[in-house]
Amino acid sequence: MQKGRVYSKEEMNSLNKRLKGAPLWRLIDMKIASLEWGRSEMTMEIKDTYLNVMGTCHGGVIATFADTVMGTALYSTGVTASATIEMNINFMEPVTAGQVLTGRGEVLRKGRTTAVIRAGLFVNDIMIAVARGTYNVFETDKQE
């Protein structure tokens, strides 16, 4: 995977279709909106089934989305297998059913065995959460 690479609309559609087969993606309906080297943008509409007893989106669902946004940014660099080593998240605003969450991930550093990534999560232009994670890199695309 070369720096500066931007995925085409057809590639994005194919990737989203393939990811829909994963059990987690069937539970939490996420979509990759754009992907380029070291960066990802994803969306997720908040459904009633994601709400906690207070009527707002459960923090675990938001954290799962943030983790996926960051993992997708790492994937864009040619990493084909990785695992989250650690992650932190700061929640700043509640999210309710019907709102669309947008996540933007950015690889801050990628080494041979680890990567550090951050994600900002937004509803419209309001940042609702920010996350940072460290990932173990297991496999990379041979073309990297």
Instruction: Report the chain's mean pLDDT, rounded to a whole number.
Output: 90
Q: Is residue 1 part of a domain?
A: no
Residue 91 in any domain: the answer is: yes
Q: What is the pLDDT of residue 8?
A: 80
Is residue 111 helix, strand or coil? coil
CA atoms of 139 and 62, how far apart (whole Å): 27
> Phi/psi zone of residue 66: left (φ > 0), alpha (ψ -120 to 50 degrees), beta?
alpha
Return the pLDDT at 108: 97
In a domain, 131, yes or no: yes
**What would the mean pLDDT of 51-56 be, rounded to a whole number?**
96
Predicted structure pTM score = 0.89
pLDDT value of residue 94: 97
| Phi, psi (rounded to 5 degrees) for 72 | -70, -40
User: What's the pLDDT tens digit per position in 24-48?
Assistant: 777 888 999 999 999 999 999 999 9
106 in a structural domain: yes
Helix (H) or strand (E) holding 114: strand 114-123
Q: Hey, what amino acid is at 58?
A: H
- Alpha-helical regions (H) of 36-130: 59-75
Percent of the chain with pLDDT over 90: 69
pLDDT, average across residues 55-77? 95
Mean per-residue pLDDT, 39-66: 96
CATH number at residue 104: 3.10.129.10
Q: Is the pLDDT of residue 22 over 90?
A: no
For 94-106, how does the pLDDT look when each residue is reduced to its tens digit (9 = 90+)? 999 999 999 999 9
How many domains does the chain contain in total?
A: 1
**What is the average pLDDT across 56-62?**
97
Residue range of the domain that includes 85:
9-140
Within-domain flag for 3: no
